[in-house]
Amino acid sequence: MTTARLAFEGMTKVFPSVRALSDVSFQIAPGEIHALLGENGAGKSTLLRILSGVFKPTSGQLLIDGVAQAFRAPESARLAGVAMIHQELQQVPHLTVAQNMFLGHPITWAGGLLVNRREQERRAAEALAMIDASIDPAAPISSLKVAQRQVVEIARALLDKAKIIAMDEPTSSLTPSEFESLAEVIKRLAASGVTIIYVSHKMDEVFGICERASVMRDGRLVGVVDLKQTEPADVISMMVGRELQAEEHVSYATRDVRIEARNLSSAKVRDVSFDLHKGEVLGIAGLVGSGRTELLRLIAGADRATGGTIRIDGSTLTLSNPRAAIAAGIGLLPEERKREGIIPGRSVTNNVALPSMKRFAPAGIIRHGALRRTAAELLTRVNLRPFLLDRPIRLFSGGNQQKAIIARWLAAGSKVLLFDEPTRGIDVGAKSEIYNLIEELACEGHSVVVVSSELPEVMRVSDRVLVMREGTVVAGLQREELTEEAIVSHAVGKGLRAPARQSQQG
């Protein structure tokens, strides 16, 4: 019987206020692509931090190729052949590809006084040639696409002769075609004997690339399943502890126009016109770089318009900055949630109050009681978990951070909510809650715009979908016209341009 490449035996981790892992045991074979699944807070990250030497287990044992390990630090794990590829890539933008690949352990000469850049680039090129020889090791890492930067991290692992590579949400910023390329790289690594641990909330990816999955819930192992003999719905039920019902879309759109956008233009948006109705959920689809995010930023006042007009409830707006948009009742939930949507060290209550602090401090002194009551009411409504109002928002999962940002715009009295990639990096249970919140907002008369790279998502929540390509709207699809094929054909230029403005303005 082949010795397991990786084995967790009775792994338990207890923090002062919480038991993060309870007696977790499973094995992964050499060359296996193994999924680690569970909702946010299930214990996946804690387990990977033990594997990578960041945490020490309270009890239990970790074995690699049958040998017990006791990592004192991440460097110990690296030397044992373990590599971690994080969702948010650990790279220094102004350094070259090669310099990033040798961060922490550079090749030196002259008694360690100087870095041997030429040798670093030579070895980096050798590692990159195994998976993507087109990447120049001397190029700045900032000049690469996200998919290429993922490849650089994998090549860095190969430099360290990694036997185990753990990938945490590796495709959260990738297009479908970029995922296919990454999937081929992963399969080649597995064929060479490298064990891959794959963490993702995207079930289609998991079932397309992984052989088995260990499913976790509330810090415990629920079970290990053969994905070829298991249905996605069964895995999801194991993850959330209940059966998630597929819900039909319900439209609350009215005939009343909330926003009239005409010929909007900026550095990356060209001549975009559309209407948004009260109670409507308008989806915007297109390839990465098609101008979707830039359009939302334009409406939210984050980017300056070079042309066009916006009217909200009949009044013309001059959206010169975000403050003007907020005053007009427009709220943006940005794509880069952690970088642009929150102040990580502040409490969730303070993050909710950011755009409406004057409401709670009319005389310059914050009325903490009123602020706390409002935050508690709104965070109860969006089902914040755990319900800890003074906890720093960075300690909440991505789904709960997104709920807090929704509560923020409700506190500000926003009538228009702009969601940019609303469920990126969010688990399946929280996704369902976000979808339900979007429909509840529409039912109450809010107008919602949703940008998403996941076609099933944009089709699930939208009354109507605009498709963008090269900065402009090329099609407007009504609910009955929505298919993945129709959206993709317009997005890549194989469809026909919408023949009439009415298809865009509804």
Range of the domain at 128: 92-161
For the chain, the average pLDDT equals 90
Domain shared by 401 and 490, yes or no: yes
Q: What are 424-475's pLDDT values in tens digits?
A: 878 887 888 899 999 999 999 999 999 998 888 999 999 999 999 999 999 9
Residue 335 near residue 297 (C-beta atoms within 8 A): no
Cα separation of 5 and 2, whole Å? 9
Composition of the chain by helix, strand, coil, percent to 5: 35, 25, 40
Residue 506, pLDDT score? 61
Residue 501, pLDDT score? 37
Residue 494, pLDDT score? 61
Cα separation of 297 and 420, whole Å? 9
pLDDT at 498 over 50: no
Residue 466 near residue 498 (C-beta atoms within 8 A): no
Is beta strand 447-451 parallel, antiparallel or unpaired with respect to 281-286? parallel
**Domain CATH number, residue 262:** 3.40.50.300
pLDDT at 480 over 80: yes
pLDDT at 409 over 50: yes
- Report yes or no on 393 lying in a domain: yes
Domain shared by 61 and 146, yes or no: no
Residue 223, pLDDT score? 96
Confidence of residue 499 (pLDDT cuts 50, 70, 90): very low
For tokens 């087109």, the residue is 134
Domain shared by 406 and 472, yes or no: yes
- Domain end call among 116, 142, 161: 161
Confidence of residue 502 (pLDDT cuts 50, 70, 90): very low
- Report yes or no on 418 lying in a domain: yes
- Report yes or no on 421 lying in a domain: yes
- Domain end call among 219, 244, 269: 244
Domain shared by 213 and 339, yes or no: no
- Domain end call among 106, 136, 161: 161
Q: Name the residue with higher pLDDT: 365 or 258.
A: 258
Closest CA to 286 of 468, 65, 150, 457: 468
Domain shared by 105 and 207, yes or no: no
Domain shared by 150 and 219, yes or no: no
Exposed/middle/buried for residue 500 (C-beta within 10 Å: 0-12, 13-18, 19+): exposed
Q: What are 311-370's pLDDT values in tens digits?
A: 999 999 887 789 999 999 999 999 888 889 999 999 999 999 999 988 888 888 888 899
Domain shared by 183 and 75, yes or no: yes
Domain count, the chain: 3
- Which two three-digit tokens encode residue 480? 């009955």
pLDDT at 197 over 90: yes
pLDDT at 290 over 70: yes
Residue 319, pLDDT score? 72
Confidence of residue 189 (pLDDT cuts 50, 70, 90): very high
Q: Name the residue with higher pLDDT: 434 or 112.
A: 434
Does the pTM surpass 0.85? The reply is no
pLDDT at 88 over 80: no
